[in-house]
Chain A
Amino acid sequence: MSNPCFLTIAEASRLIRARRLSPVELTNAYLDRIAALDGQLNSYILVLREQALAGAREAEAEIMAGRWKGPLHGIPIALKDIYETAGIPTTGHSALFRDHVPAEDATTVRLLREAGVVVLGKTATWEFAIGGPSFDLPWPPARNPWDTALDPAGSSSGSGAAVAAGLCMGAMGSDTGGSIRSPSAWNGIAGLKPTYGLVSRRGVLPLSFTLDHAGPMCWTSEDCALMMQTLAAYDPLDPGSADPGPIDFTMASGKALAGLRVGVVRHFFEKDAPAEPEVCAALENALTVMREGGATVRDVTLAPLDLYYDLCGLIMSPEAYAIHERGLTETPELYGALARQRISAGALIKGSDYVNALRLRAKLVAQAAEVMREVDVLVTPTRHGPPEPLGQFDTILGRRFYTRPFNVLGLPALSVCSGFTGAGLPLSLQIAGRPFEDALVLRVGDAFEKATSYRAIRPALKGAAPAFAGGEAGPVPATVGS
């Protein structure tokens, strides 16, 4: 077998169930790889070596005794360090929470543990999922495995970098304005922001109550679906939790695109905030793949991107400030500069402006629902361009990406890798769906990934094993349309 750290969850799960792959050996392989390579990436801020090995031994004993729990049993994953973990520090990547040790697991962590995952550690994040790639915090920012001089994007930066680099098989992220999908885009992986309310946020350090989403980040859409089968559960302890009934996240066997109606929100990336040419070329290539798979493609119109951006800011800022008011007025020195600035801005929003933003939000939700009577999914790029140099956050902050509309609307939205630049950097495609049609969104992502060869390419790190994905996959040219 090639490096087990490059297996997908689906591949590893089949081997584990057949007792051809040991969870203990798999966990050891990841721990060794983290020790050897994460000094280049800083994707983890805490590695739970002993707990992970204990969990792997327990999983192995259960499987050997015939008590296989399901596809996540014995699978090594990582948690963004805003997910509360009982008895284990949960810092939010902030000095303010350096000594915060929760008494309970977040609901999602509990569900994953019950499904038998092995938790390798806690991953780097922008401070409290908002700050930015900061250098004035107790831990350094994560770096991009495709080029360590580049930004992995955020705020789930460590989760994205770790998945791409083969330092975990899957990870949890959170997404308030794009924080799962942006690092998925810039690390070349798959990441789902589920429908608002489908995955519990209980025990995830909050940023913005009406915009926060918890979700999976994996190498493939299929792996995200395997995690969602466990994560999608009503939680009475999360006031935003929804109960749409059971959802089957099983992937279709190559037929997800047949008859699919695809709406392209072209004005987002051609007029409102033009994307770079390579991004647009990758998107057109993706549309060709979808047509060849039997989909029909048409352009659709939503509200201007700026309107979603403005609303997102007017809602997120005061909600975040409400959470951090005490910290920012009593111990502002414990925040990094970027988080201090970004959250403080919410102090100056009038209550009436916040409420009116929520009123306008309701109209946008209704408008999008009308558009989605005519199409099954919406597509855009995720980011306007490939990864940019780490530390140029002031420039990035002023940009418009294509993620925020789906936080405002609460719709499920997936980012997948749509190819590579001539320099070998990942490009992105975003697929959004109707409320609670997360499984369809993932099936479309899965069909696209299986119709292309981009999942065969892994980033190459100094001193690492060959940088090609699992089993039979071989190298393919790192260019758009390959």
Chain B
Amino acid sequence: MNKIPFAMRLAARGLSLPAAEAECLEKLVRDLDKATEIVRGDRPYGEEPLSAFRLTPAAV
């Protein structure tokens, strides 16, 4: 879990939301923070991400 206070994380991104919305946003971010735990950890060094980057030969 992220240890940095939520308000500081938001401010660092240049975001300022009305106070009434902060609680809901914090909950959304908490869920995403929890989700990050499943993608962290050891991975094969060369495991590529799924990517839409495909080149096609130039037209002659």
Binding site for B on A (CB under 8 A): 209-210, 239-240, 307, 309-311, 313-314, 317, 328-329, 332, 337, 340-342, 344-345, 347-350, 353, 355-362, 365, 394
Contact = CB atoms under 8 A, between A and B. Distances in A.
The 8 lowest CB-CB distance pairs between A and B, nearest first, are: A358-B49, A310-B35, A356-B39, A362-B50, A347-B13, A345-B28, A353-B36, A329-B14
Given A356-B43, A359-B47, A340 B38 contact: no
B32 A350 contact: no
Query: Which of A240, A311, A340 has the most CB atoms of chain B within a 10 A radius of its CB?
Result: A340
A348 B29 contact: yes
B6 to A, nearest CB: 9
Contacts, number: 89
5 contacts: A311-B39, A341-B21, A357-B39, A359-B47, A361-B50
Given A341-B28, A348-B32, A358 B50 contact: yes
Contacts of B18: 337
B38 A360 contact: yes
B32 A349 contact: yes
Nearest to B39: A356
Given A350-B36, A361-B49, 7 more contacts: A337-B18, A340-B21, A345-B28, A345-B29, A359-B39, A360-B39, A362-B47
A122 B53 CA distance: 32
A350 B37 CA distance: 12
A314 B34 CA distance: 10
Interface string B13-41: 11111101100110011011111101110
A344 B52 contact: no
Contact of A240 (B21, B31, B52): B52
B17 to A, nearest CB: 6
B17 A340 contact: yes
Interface residues of B, number: 31
Nearest to A209: B52
Contacts of B21: 337, 340-341
Nearest to B43: A359
Contacts of B33: 348
Give chain A's interface secondary structure class.
helix
Nearest to A362: B50
B37 to A, nearest CB: 9
A317 B17 CA distance: 17
A359 B49 contact: yes
B13 A394 contact: no
B14 to A, nearest CB: 4
A314 B17 contact: no
Contacts of B9: 348
Contacts of A210: 50, 52
Given A313-B31, A332-B15, A342-B28, A359 B48 contact: yes
Contacts of A310: 34-35, 38-39
Contacts of B32: 313-314, 317, 345, 348-349
Contacts of A362: 47-50
A316 to B, nearest CB: 10
B48 to A, nearest CB: 7
A116 to B, nearest CB: 31
Nearest to B18: A337
Contacts of A314: 32, 35-36, 39
Contacts of B34: 310
Contact of A347 (B15, B39, B49): B15
Contact of A358 (B2, B40, B51): B51
Contacts of B49: 355-356, 358-359, 361-362
Contacts of B15: 328-329, 332, 344, 347
B7 to A, nearest CB: 12
Given A328-B15, A341-B21, A344-B17, A313 B47 contact: no
